[in-house]
Structure 1
Amino acid sequence: MAEGWDRARRSISRAARATAGAGRGTFRAGRTAARRTAHAGGAAVRGTARAGRGVGRATRRLTHAQGAGRTGLGRLIELTAAHSAGDAMVTVALAGTLLFGLPVDQARGQVALYLLITMVPFTVVAPFVGPVLDRFRSGRRYIMAGTLLARGLLCWGMAAAIGPADGLTLFPAALAVLVLSKAYNVSRAATMPSVLPADIGLVTANARVALFALVSAGVAAPVAAGLTAWLGAEWVLRGTMVIFIAAGVGAVRLPRHVDAPDLEEAEEGESGEARRPRWRTLLSIGPVVGEAMRANAALRVLSGFLVFFLLFLVKDGHLRGNGLPQEALIAILAGGAGAGGLLGAAVASWIRGRPPQVIVLFALGFATVTAAASAFFFSLWTAVVVALVAGFAQEVGKLALDAVVQREIGEEVRSSTFGVVEALLQIAWVAGGLVGLLLSLPSGRSAGPIGLAIVAAALIAALTWVLTTRRRRLRARPRPVPHAPAPATPKPPPHTPPQPEPEAWTHTADLRPAGPEPYADGPRPGGTKPLTNPHG
């Protein structure tokens, strides 16, 4: 029995040692796997960090090219890209709460109300935002930083209002974000001439800023959509707050020459000169700026019209495409408009030596022809084409308009002019959106061609008006008076060899040329006195 007990004990001991060895092996394998996983994760993180640094260095080389890094244009481009990315994330986060979560009929009423409310702040604030920016031109960096920081705080408030669906907080905060965004754009546009490198024109510089802004918005929008579906719109708004605050800190670090002298300091040098009132100067923007503004207003009407007209045609089922769902159709149309804007910014950055007012007319004419053709051949793909062309024309026209204002308007009222321009363009966009809502009401497939035909006729009228006023302006322009040619100075006679001095006894008659004497009876008129008198 003792022998059996010893065998059992040895068996248990061997089993325990085997279990311990297996445990140690499992532990070592787990430790090795954990080390390998950590190493792989660290390598992935390091690779992502290296890729991010490479993208950042490449982006910095692009934004700081052609002297933009020395003048501050590169930093302004990066700041505007962050601003545009934040605006895109706010738009995506609020899209489901304002539009797509509602039935079609209710969405129409909500959108119309939103458009009208959107127009009110611009009609009220436009006369004040620009003059305030002009009054504090020496603090443009801090004004831009203030708009960014304020939007960050508003994003935090909107994030808290989304959960309980507090519309009383959500709508005013969204409108305030929109107004502050336009205030930033006004201040940035007025700042452009002070950071312009010598080798870059105004249209090209504006296009470069717009190109990076569109790219950053195009990258941020799908990221925000994914985060909204995963975490919720409130967390996207909280993340946007961080972006705006970081951009606000970056705005303060812009170069000091971004800040222009105060108006009072500039007026101190006007000793003895009559000062023009600022509003009279603002109203006297000139025919060139007025012409560009009218053309851009027509393009904004087309853009606002297409956004809501095509959207509700899709939601009503009047615009279909081979069984594609409504979300896919809306994404295709939005992608066409976004691609058109990106293409417009790229093309404008390549244009060199073209007058901006001619670029505006080209954009309006191109959009008019495309809208008229799409009315006759209306389908999903022609709608995509007209959306692409509208985005292209709007972007090119706005960049050229900015260049016209920056070139034609003086420093003392430039921000005020940009404020009025932004307000008028926003009102034109809202008017186009309301027209799009009304023309999308008729049922049937004929709603699309009829609506586009009406807008094409309006564009033709606007183009005719702009061309007529331009032709009248060019005819009335005073032409330089040609000056009478100055009398030609007589050429000096050819060099003749010096004549030998006559002898003292030589008579004047000996120096006359051979031939008959015309004045034989007396002295030659205007002649010289004889050197000697032979008779005395």
Structure 2
Amino acid sequence: MDALRRLARLMRHAGFRRLVIVRAFSQGGDAVVQVGMAAYLLFSPQSQPNAWAVTAVIALVMLPFSVVGPFVSPILDRHARQRVVVVCDLLRMVLAIIMTAMVVTGHAGVAGQAVLLVLLLITLSLNRLQIAGLSAGMPLTVDSDEYLGAAALMPMLGPLSGMIGGALAGLARLASGRLLPTNWADGLVFVIASVLFIAAAVTALGFGRGELGPEAGAPVTTWRQVFSGLTAAGREIVRKRPAALSMIMVFFARVGYGALMTAIIMLYRHYFGSDADLERVMVEMGTWFLVSGAGFALSGFIASPASEIIGVRRTIIAAFAAAAVVQLMPGSLLVRPGLLVSGFMLGLCLQSVKICGDTVVQAHIDDEVRGRVMVVYDIINNLGYVVGAVIAAVLLPFDGHSVPFFLGLAAMFAACAAAFSLLSSDSEGYQLGAVARRY
């Protein structure tokens, strides 16, 4: 309710309202493109995706948000951010139209899929640049005493737009699949994305050229400063042992979830399903990701109280231990009900590790380098998903059915709990604001 009240207060600013609408259209379109690509590469009858194809999609979805992120400042400091936002969305609209044409004409060969993946990479990279431009311009759309509230709300509004866009795209794909040929149904998803991108660009044109900055005389970030900042962040991480150890634990939590996602996709696509019932496969797989996502969403209600009661250190250990038990049973039974239960619990446990890791990093890293450290942390976080997907691609059979693989995930989570227990200590403390809490 407090968040809604703050949002209502902020929405009285015309500039902030327009910025929210632009971000909603843009990130909604971004999610639609991802749904369209997944549907085409994983659920088309002419496509027989293996784990490496799934890994490629995961890599292209995750990496641009981290790899491109550190290098956008010099661009946004030199060019009108309103123009950057408009150009990004116009380019993304063109790319979505090209993807529509390729999908409708049935370019399912290796070369065609490679081109589609490159187009997806460019689309998501442009999204990262655009989000950075909107974030940099946001302080200019609200009063100075409202910036912190707006900065806290915007990271929630963007993903919410993505969830809504992705859900609508999934429903549109399922509905159109009953009326249109498969390629045309897949192509329709990319058409929806292009409409959302053009809507974002048109809305952004409502800003004046300099309304989102940069302001005249503002300092300009150089490319050398970007690299030196990342180097300073690395030194700070190495110097602060609890933060470094927590980042490593978050990395392995993401490795486990990335491997799990790849295995789940292959299981539902090839073991539980076939080309004859792709619609059912899409629904069942979507249900798994929805249930696991619910675990992610609810983790904050578990991790924070647990950290207050037993400390952050013990919460991380307990979360990994619980993930190991759940992955062992029912996660390794490889039956649909068991996978749904484990999907929810693993989303809850592994995201709890991330929340606790965030707490440790924020507490131990000095203010003057915290922003640069969080950039490195973001790269480590997303890289974990990709590493996990690569491991799954190497080890999994074509249909994803491998009890030893799922037992191996349980063993990895147990090893993380044991390693963190041995390498960390209750005697290490940190400050959160003015309140000392146990590590």
Q: What's the TM-score once normalised by structure 2's chain length?
A: 0.68
Contact 2:51–2:392 under 8 Å retained in 1 = no
Measured after TM superposition, the shift of residue 161 of structure 1 is 1.9
CA distance in structure 1 between the partners assigned to 2:306 and 2:155 by the alignment: 14
What's the counterpart of residue 73 of structure 2? 133
Please, which of 408, 412, 415 is the counterpart of residue 454 of structure 1? 408
Would the alpha carbon gap of residues 82 and 118 (structure 1) be closer, same or farther in structure 2, given more than 3 Å must change?
A: same
CA distance in structure 2 between the partners assigned to 1:362 and 1:254 by the alignment: 46
Please, which of 155, 172, 175 is the counterpart of residue 96 of structure 2? 155
CA distance in structure 2 between the partners assigned to 1:198 and 1:353 by the alignment: 28
What's the counterpart of residue 501 of structure 1? none
1:183-222 superposed Cα distances (whole Å, 9 cap, x missing partner): 4455667778887947859767634543443234323321
Confirm or deny that 1:68 pairs with 2:10: yes
What's the counterpart of residue 171 of structure 2? 222
What's the counterpart of residue 101 of structure 1? 44
CA distance in structure 2 between the partners assigned to 1:406 and 1:187 by the alignment: 24
CA distance in structure 2 between the partners assigned to 1:283 and 1:250 by the alignment: 39
Would the alpha carbon gap of residues 473 and 330 (structure 1) be closer, same or farther in structure 2, given more than 3 Å must change?
A: farther
Contact 1:63–1:78 under 8 Å retained in 2 = no
Superposition RMSD in Å: 5.0
Would the alpha carbon gap of residues 405 and 376 (structure 1) be closer, same or farther in structure 2, given more than 3 Å must change?
A: closer
1:257-278 superposed Cα distances (whole Å, 9 cap, x missing partner): 86566996289xxxxxxx9943
1:132-156 superposed Cα distances (whole Å, 9 cap, x missing partner): 3255247555444443332211101
Confirm or deny that 1:331 pairs with 2:272: no
Measured after TM superposition, the shift of residue 131 of structure 1 is 2.6
What's the counterpart of residue 491 of structure 1? none
Name the aligned partner's letter for residue 221 of structure 1: G
Greater Rg by CA: 1
Measured after TM superposition, the shift of residue 98 of structure 1 is 1.6
Name the aligned partner's letter for residue 98 of structure 1: L
Would the alpha carbon gap of residues 211 and 476 (structure 1) be closer, same or farther in structure 2, given more than 3 Å must change?
A: closer
1:227-257 superposed Cα distances (whole Å, 9 cap, x missing partner): 4554523333223112012123434657988
What's the counterpart of residue 278 of structure 1? 229
CA distance in structure 2 between the partners assigned to 1:352 and 1:202 by the alignment: 21
Contact 1:112–1:434 under 8 Å retained in 2 = no
Contact 2:137–2:212 under 8 Å retained in 1 = yes
Please, which of 346, 354, 372 is the counterpart of residue 325 of structure 2? 372
Confirm or deny that 1:170 pairs with 2:116: yes
Aligned length: 400
Would the alpha carbon gap of residues 129 and 223 (structure 1) be closer, same or farther in structure 2, given more than 3 Å must change?
A: same
What's the counterpart of residue 32 of structure 2? 89
Would the alpha carbon gap of residues 211 and 348 (structure 1) be closer, same or farther in structure 2, given more than 3 Å must change?
A: farther
Please, which of 253, 257, 267 is the counterpart of residue 313 of structure 1? 267
CA distance in structure 2 between the partners assigned to 1:276 and 1:91 by the alignment: 31
Structure 2, unmatched stretches of 5+, are 435-439
Contact 1:309–1:439 under 8 Å retained in 2 = no
CA distance in structure 2 between the partners assigned to 1:339 and 1:113 by the alignment: 21
Name the aligned partner's letter for residue 130 of structure 1: P
Measured after TM superposition, the shift of residue 441 of structure 1 is 1.5
Measured after TM superposition, the shift of residue 385 of structure 1 is 1.9
What's the counterpart of residue 206 of structure 1? 155
Q: Identity over aligned residues, as a percent?
A: 17
CA distance in structure 2 between the partners assigned to 1:254 and 1:396 by the alignment: 39
CA distance in structure 2 between the partners assigned to 1:95 and 1:86 by the alignment: 14
Name the aligned partner's letter for residue 289 of structure 2: A
Q: What's the TM-score once normalised by structure 1's chain length?
A: 0.58
Measured after TM superposition, the shift of residue 366 of structure 1 is 3.3
Name the aligned partner's letter for residue 176 of structure 1: I
Contact 2:316–2:356 under 8 Å retained in 1 = no
Measured after TM superposition, the shift of residue 182 of structure 1 is 4.0
Would the alpha carbon gap of residues 173 and 210 (structure 1) be closer, same or farther in structure 2, given more than 3 Å must change?
A: closer
Would the alpha carbon gap of residues 254 and 465 (structure 1) be closer, same or farther in structure 2, given more than 3 Å must change?
A: farther
Would the alpha carbon gap of residues 436 and 143 (structure 1) be closer, same or farther in structure 2, given more than 3 Å must change?
A: same
1:92-134 superposed Cα distances (whole Å, 9 cap, x missing partner): 3233432223678x52165167359749x949x9666523325
Contact 2:266–2:399 under 8 Å retained in 1 = no
Question: What secondary structure, in the 3-state scheme, does the structure 2 residue paired with 1:436 have?
Answer: helix
What's the counterpart of residue 437 of structure 2? none
Measured after TM superposition, the shift of residue 341 of structure 1 is 2.4
CA distance in structure 1 between the partners assigned to 2:294 and 2:138 by the alignment: 20
What's the counterpart of residue 56 of structure 2? 114
Contact 2:295–2:346 under 8 Å retained in 1 = no
1:1-27 superposed Cα distances (whole Å, 9 cap, x missing partner): xxxxxxxxxxxxxxxxxxxxxxxxxxx
Please, which of 388, 395, 406 is the counterpart of residue 432 of structure 1? 388
Higher RCO (CA < 8 A, seq sep 6+): 2
Contact 1:202–1:403 under 8 Å retained in 2 = no
Contact 1:89–1:236 under 8 Å retained in 2 = yes
1:24-72 superposed Cα distances (whole Å, 9 cap, x missing partner): xxxxxxxxxxxxxxxxxxxxxxxxxxxxxxxxxxxxx959636332577
Name the aligned partner's letter for residue 95 of structure 2: L
Would the alpha carbon gap of residues 264 and 202 (structure 1) be closer, same or farther in structure 2, given more than 3 Å must change?
A: closer
Instruction: Map residues 390-409 of structure 1 onto 2, 5 A cutoff.
Output: 390-392=346-348
Contact 1:359–1:396 under 8 Å retained in 2 = no
Name the aligned partner's letter for residue 303 of structure 1: Y
Contact 1:127–1:420 under 8 Å retained in 2 = no
Measured after TM superposition, the shift of residue 381 of structure 1 is 1.6
What's the counterpart of residue 252 of structure 2? 298
Contact 1:154–1:177 under 8 Å retained in 2 = yes
Name the aligned partner's letter for residue 179 of structure 1: S
Name the aligned partner's letter for residue 381 of structure 1: P
Measured after TM superposition, the shift of residue 279 of structure 1 is 3.6
Moved more, 218-227 or 390-399: 390-399
CA distance in structure 2 between the partners assigned to 1:146 and 1:349 by the alignment: 40
CA distance in structure 2 between the partners assigned to 1:95 and 1:220 by the alignment: 11
Structure 1, unmatched stretches of 5+, are 1-60, 268-274, 481-536
CA distance in structure 2 between the partners assigned to 1:70 and 1:253 by the alignment: 16
CA distance in structure 1 between the partners assigned to 2:189 and 2:179 by the alignment: 10
Contact 1:338–1:391 under 8 Å retained in 2 = no
Contact 2:97–2:194 under 8 Å retained in 1 = yes
Question: What secondary structure, in the 3-state scheme, does the structure 2 residue paired with 1:304 have?
Answer: helix
Measured after TM superposition, the shift of residue 176 of structure 1 is 1.4
What's the counterpart of residue 34 of structure 1? none
